[in-house]
Amino acid sequence: MSLRLLYGFHAVAARLRVAPQTVRELLVDASRHDARMRQLLARAERAAVAARAVDGERLDALVGDRPHQGVVARVEALQQATSLDAVLDATDGVPLLLGLDGVTDPHNLGAILRSADAAGAQAVFAPKDRAVGLTPVAAKAASGAADNVAYLMVTNMARALAGLRERGIQVVGAAGEATHSVFDVDLRGPCALVLGAEGAGLRRLVRASCDQLVRIPMMGSVESLNVSVAAGVLLFEALRQRQAPRP
C-alpha cells in the first residue's frame, strides 16, 4: 500500500485521533520538548503509535521548506468514497456537497476542506484537469479535514453536475453578477454549491449546469472574496438554514 506524508501538529493529531492504525511511522523533532509536543506524544502513546525522535535536518529533508513544526508522519491513505454516487448512497442526512471549478492553490483547497468539514459537507469535488490534488500542503492546511471529507476528482464537471441534478440535488452556483443573494435562496434541501476560480469564475458549461446562480452581497470596495472565504460563507449559510427552526 502506498504511503504519503502528513506534517504539522493539526494534521498528524487528527490522523492519530480518527485512524491511528494507518500511521506507519511518526517522526518528531528531538529538540522540541514543549507542551504541544508532549500532548502529541501522549496522544500517540494512547493510540499505541511509537514516535521516533530525529534531528530537524531529517524532517527538513523529508518535506523540504514546508513548515512541518517538528512533526512528520508516514500514513496509509484512508479508504474514502471514490464517486459522488457512492457519497450520496452512504449519506444518511440531507446531502451537502461543494464543487470547485478551477481552484488550483493547495492552501485554498486545504482551507476549503476545513470549512466543508466544519459545516458538515459530505464531499468536495473538482475536475481532474483544472484543480489541485490533495497534496501534502493542502492536507496540512486542512488540519485533518482531508481525512473526514472526501475530495473527489471528476472527469467532466458539467456532466457530474447533471448527474447530481438527476438524483434530486439542487445545484447552486456562485456568481458575482447573479440576481439573488445566497441569503435569499433555500439551501435546506439536498444541494451542491459550486464555486469557480477567482477572477475567471465558473466556466460557461458549468454555469449552464446550475439550477440557479447566487451572489454574496459585497458592501465594501473589494469586488470579490478569496475562494476559500466565499466557500465558507456559502457552506455556513446552508448550515445556518438547516439548523434554524422551520416557520
**Domains 3-76 and 84-243 belong to one CATH topology:** no
Phi-psi region of 44 (alpha: psi -120 to 50; beta: other; left: phi over 0): alpha
CA Rg, the chain, in Å? Answer: 20
- Measuring CA to CA, how many Å separate 66 from each of 48, 132, 242? 27, 17, 38
Average pLDDT of the residues in 186-203:
91
Classified by CATH at the fold level, domain 3-76 comes out as 60s Ribosomal Protein L30; Chain: A; (3.30.1330)
In this prediction, residue 1 carries a pLDDT of 56
Q: Report d(CA 4, CA 226) in Å as an integer.
A: 28
**Per-residue pLDDT at 24 exceeds 60:** yes
Q: How many C-alpha atoms does 92 have within 13 Å on its Cβ side?
A: 0
Residues in the chain, how many? 247
Among 3.60.150.10, 3.40.630.10, 3.40.1280.10, 3.90.79.10, name the CATH number for the domain at 84-243.
3.40.1280.10
**pTM listed for this prediction:** 0.73
Instruction: Give the chain's mean pLDDT.
Output: 89
189 vs 221, residue with greater confidence: 189
